[in-house]
Structure 1
Amino acid sequence: MDSTLPRAASAARRRRRLQSRIREGLRDLTVQIALLNHQVGNHLELRDADLECLDLVSRYGPIGPTALAKRAGLHPATLTGVLDRLERGGWVIRTPNPSDRRAILVQVLKDREAEVVQMFSALNTAIDGICSEYDDSELTMITEFLHRVAREGQRATDDLAES
């Protein structure tokens, strides 16, 4: 009897279990990050969508409202309300776009950005500790994996938005 068949089936089961554990881990991470973001928003008196947009402006700004709405997956009218709240709260400013005076750019006010960074400092410190347990090649692989998963998440989001 050929013993390679049971070994191959066992290896395939083990692989499926590992992939399932990765998907479960990503779902757990998504939930925990959402809960943390919600708590941060509560402390800063920001709605969840406002905090998400603030993060996007921080990462990609200065950014135009149309580009921000696309990145956030929000209708432009909804984004206008978000930006109005963020501006009233002193989180962002809208300035004329130097390359097109008819358009505006949104940017985060740096002194307020520090408040958000402080709220995530415990998690960032914990992540630094976790990363210290891996060598550079492992961190490179983890980084590549996370970026690839994020790209596929964006692709799945775009596909759902178009259907």
Structure 2
Amino acid sequence: MTPVTSGNQRARRQLTNEIKDSLRDLRNQLSMLNRQVGIHLDLKDVDLDCLDLVSRHGPLSPTALARAAGLHPATMTGILDRLERAGWVVRERDPADRRAVTVRALPDRGREVFQLYAGMNGAMDDLCADYDEAQLQLLADFLRRTTEAGATATTDLSTRPK
């Protein structure tokens, strides 16, 4: 084990700050990419976010979707109305409970979204090819834990009084 020195601590703090800065830069870049995808598809940012959640985790109830997106249920109604009118999702009666509704993404439209992200997906495949399996496992663990930390911070902030 390497002994802890002030030089080691400084270097570690600098690297940690570099990682945080890079994550902020990545968030901004992905936001710009998503905005461009939304422009091509004539979708608002929040609509695209909700469509992604339904595509990846659906079918979902409108309430579960609102919770996952961190939105008020009344806001979700407007988003689902827009997505349904544009042919991105359908609302269906839950066969187990005819009073309940689930939201499902339409797979044919999903291909349109996938094509717009093809450049980024290809770049990510190329980047990942440069890492061995152990490094990919480390990166996947870091990103998973970073996502969990973000979820915790979001929950903490949402329950804090204004």
TM over 0.5: yes
Q: Find the aligned partners of 1:85 and 1:79 in 2 and give their Cα distance.
A: 10
What corresponds to 2:40 in structure 1? 43
Q: Match for 2:143 among 141, 146, 151?
A: 146
Structure 1 moving runs of 4+ over 6 Å: none
User: 2:50 aligns to what?
Assistant: 53
Q: Give percent identity, aligned residues only.
A: 52
5+ long unaligned stretches in structure 2: none
From 121, 127, 130, give the equivalent of 1:130. Answer: 127
- Residues of 1 paired with 2:56 and 2:130: CA distance? 27
Who is 1:117 aligned against? Answer: 114
CA distance in 1 between partners of 2:96 and 2:21 (Å): 45
Q: Name the stretch that deviates more: 93-102 or 83-92.
A: 93-102
Q: Tell me what 1:101 maps to.
A: 98
Q: What corresponds to 1:14 in structure 2?
A: 11
Report whether the alignment pairs 1:74 with 2:68: no
Cα distance in 2 for residues equivalent to 1:131 and 1:90: 34
Structure 1 residue 24, shift from structure 2 partner: 0.4
Structure 1: state its 5+ residue gaps: none
Q: Deviations over 1:69-122 (max 9, x none)?
A: 000011001000000000000000000112211110001000000100111000
Following the alignment from structure 1 to structure 2, what is the Cα–Cα distance between the partners of residues 162 and 43?
A: 35
Structure with larger Rg: 1
Amino acid at match of 1:138: Q
Separation of aligned partners in 1, 2:134 and 2:104: 35
With normalisation by structure 2, the TM-score equals: 0.96
Match of 1:34 among 31, 35, 44: 31
